[in-house]
Amino acid sequence: MRDAGFIEHDVLRTVMTSLDVEESMIAAIGEREQDLHDRMLLTPEARQGGCEDLREADSTRVEPETHAECPECLREGTTWVHLRLCLACGNVGCCDSSVGRHATRHYEETGHPVMRSFEPGEAWRWCFKHDLLG
Ligand SMILES: [Zn+2]
Ligand SMILES: [Zn+2]
Ligand SMILES: [Zn+2]
């Protein structure tokens, strides 16, 4: 197009420069996504089993107070997404994706540090105190 004389040289240079900028912005976004992706893959394993609360918590010792519902949600008329079981006292509460966030609130009220997933087929545990997966 330049050779054919349709566009002034300066105009073309401006366009090319902004295309370059755009391209490098796209590259930077790609790198950041890769970086986040790598970190998410690394985090659970790197942090697994790392605190005394997780070592001491024993899921066989507690008797769950309910088996299929979040009692606080029933009381407040909200619904839950997933259930969590407190390994210190057997309290059943809902996850942070639920409106009530009753498992987290139970930790804030009692200081009981470790919960486990109370979903069928899930056995992971979480220490609220240290933000650790175990
Ligand atoms: Zn801990
Ligand atoms: Zn709840
Ligand atoms: Zn508890």
List, as ranges, residues with CB under 5 A of the ion ligand 2: 70, 72-73, 80, 94, 100, 102
User: In terms of domains, do 15 and 77 share one?
Assistant: no
Say what the pTM is. 0.64
- pLDDT for 94-129, tens place per residue? 999 999 999 999 999 999 999 999 999 999 999 999
Domain assignment of residue 61, given as a range = 52-133
pLDDT over 80 at 68, yes or no: yes
Residue whose structure tokens are 């090319």:
16
Nearest ligand to residue 116 Cα = 3
Boundary of a domain, candidates 30, 46, 62: 46
94: three-class secondary structure by DSSP: strand
Measured in Å, residue 110 CA sits from the centre of ligand 2 at: 16
User: In terms of domains, do 24 and 63 share one?
Assistant: no
Measured in Å, residue 107 CA sits from the centre of ligand 3 at: 7
User: In terms of domains, do 77 and 115 share one?
Assistant: yes
Quote the pLDDT of residue 134.
87
Quote the pLDDT of residue 21.
62
- CA–CA distances in Å: residue 93 to residues 22, 45, 99, 117, 130: 47, 25, 11, 10, 19
User: In terms of domains, do 98 and 118 share one?
Assistant: yes
| Contacts (Cβ under 8 Å, ≥6 apart) of 126 | 84, 114, 115, 116, 132, 133, 134
